[in-house]
Structure 1
Amino acid sequence: MRPVLVYTASRIGLFIVTMGLLYLLGLQNIFLLLLASFFVSGFASLVVLSKQRDAMSTRLSNKINRPKPHDD
Structure 2
Amino acid sequence: MREMVLFAVIRLVLWAGIWWVLTLFDVGVMLAGVLAALIAMLISILFLNRVRDAAAMRWKAADDRRRERHADDVDEDAEAEDSFLDAEAAAADGAHGTDVTEESGSTTASPAGPGQLPELPAEDPASPSADGR
TM-score (norm 2): 0.48
What residue ranges of structure 2 are gaps of 5+ in the alignment?
A: 74-133
- Whole-angstrom distance in 1 between the partners of 2:42 and 2:23: 18
SS of the residue 2:21 aligns to:
helix
Q: Write the mapping of 1:1-72 to structure 2, written as runs, cut at 5 A.
A: 1-24=1-24, 26-66=25-65, 67-68=68-69
**What letter corresponds to residue 57 of structure 1 in structure 2?**
A
* Count of residues in Structure 1 that have an aligned counterpart in Structure 2: 70
Q: Percent identity?
A: 21
Provide the alpha-carbon RMSD of the alignment: 1.6
Query: CA offset at residue 47 of structure 1?
Result: 1.2
Q: Which runs of 4+ in 1 moved over 3 A?
A: none
Higher helix share: 1
**What letter corresponds to residue 60 of structure 1 in structure 2?**
W
Q: Greater CA radius of gyration, 1 or 2?
A: 2
